[in-house]
Amino acid sequence: MDFELRRAREKLEKEQKERKERAKLRLDRERKAKEEARKQREAIEAVHRSRRLDAIEAQLKVPPPFFIFPRDYARFLDFLV
């Protein structure tokens, strides 16, 4: 009788230990996935930021249209800064 109880307890403890280990591994995978997603988002944001800055610089390099007077263009540049 004691032998059967001890075996049942050992089996239960083993199952609990395995369940705990599986849960720990699952949480670790989720944490790594979240970290990877955060890094991807940051990389995408950096690319978008760079493209926006490049577009602004390109717009500033374009000469003003012929119908804008120099003093208006100077005001426009001051407005951008």
Segment 33-69, tens digit of pLDDT: 999 999 999 999 999 999 999 988 888 887 766 556 6
pTM above 0.75, yes or no: no
Q: Is 69 helix (H, G, I), strand (E, B) or coil?
A: coil
The per-residue pLDDT for 44 is: 97
Whether residue 10 is predicted with pLDDT greater than 90 in this model: the reply is yes
Q: Is 41 helix (H, G, I), strand (E, B) or coil?
A: helix
The per-residue pLDDT for 20 is: 97
Q: Where is pLDDT greater, at 26 or 71?
A: 26
Q: Is 15 helix (H, G, I), strand (E, B) or coil?
A: helix
Domain boundaries, the chain: 2-80
Counting every residue written for the chain, the total comes to 81
The per-residue pLDDT for 23 is: 97
